Chains A and B, each alone.
Chain A
Amino acid sequence: GDSVTQKQGQVTLSEDDFLFINCTYSTTTYPTLLWYVQYLGQGPQLLLKVTTANNKGISRGFEATYDKGTTSFHLQKASVQESDSAVYFCALVPLANYGNEKITFGAGTKLTIKP
């Protein structure tokens, strides 16, 4: 079955630091890759998605490149702010003939930004 690996359970940075969160995936399909962000007390919300291999997704200063060769979809941001503190989930959705399918999530990375 599909799987997503995020090994960094927690990351602590200072404001204006560079952020890099590792994500690798395994699937036999042609997936859409996603990053979701979850703030305290809320459900996950989509941060960015990429549907095509070797393309890049960019949103709110975050970016991730769908690298089919290395099966990776790392998240990065040049300069983090305190408001970026949240839990970040890498995820994939398989390509379906019709409509949507279930999301497979990674374990999540808790990001804490010190002011």
Chain B
Amino acid sequence: NAGVIQTPRHKVTGKGQEATLWCEPISGHSAVFWYRQTIVQGLEFLTYFRNQAPIDDSGMPKERFSAQMPNQSHSTLKIQSTQPQDSAVYLCASSLDRAGGAQDTQYFGPGTRLLVL
């Protein structure tokens, strides 16, 4: 089991450019989460999918950020017109998502470190 795979591991963009981050969840996991980590704000939830359907995007900035999950094997986080304050480590996590309220472990990938110059 390779774990959650995130690509690229590092990305440098210029202000105003677009950045697309990729996540491949653990095979068989039906829930995919995106978080952002910065020194100032810590670990913050952005959005999540269940069986590819968007469930909660309450943490996503209203402008410029979007996430998709076109199939069960990958999800993307896209940031349009990147700004220096978007610089962060973007983490993807996946989990089983079983009925009954059981709290299945969320397994995190290594993250993509985005630097906007």
Give A residues with C-beta under 8 Å from B.
32, 41-46, 49, 51, 89, 93, 95-108
Contact = CB atoms under 8 A, between A and B. Distances in A.
Contact of B110 (A42, A93, A103): A42
Contact of B108 (A45, A93, A97, A101): A45
Given A99-B31, A105-B42, A49 B103 contact: yes
A96 B35 CA distance: 19
Interface residues of B, number: 30
B99 to A, nearest CB: 5
Interface of B: 4, 31, 33, 35, 42-45, 48, 50, 56, 59, 91, 93, 95-101, 103-111
Between B56, B101, B107, B109, the greatest number of chain A beta carbons within 10 A of the residue's beta carbon is seen for B101
A98 B50 CA distance: 11
Contacts of A51: 103
A32 to B, nearest CB: 4
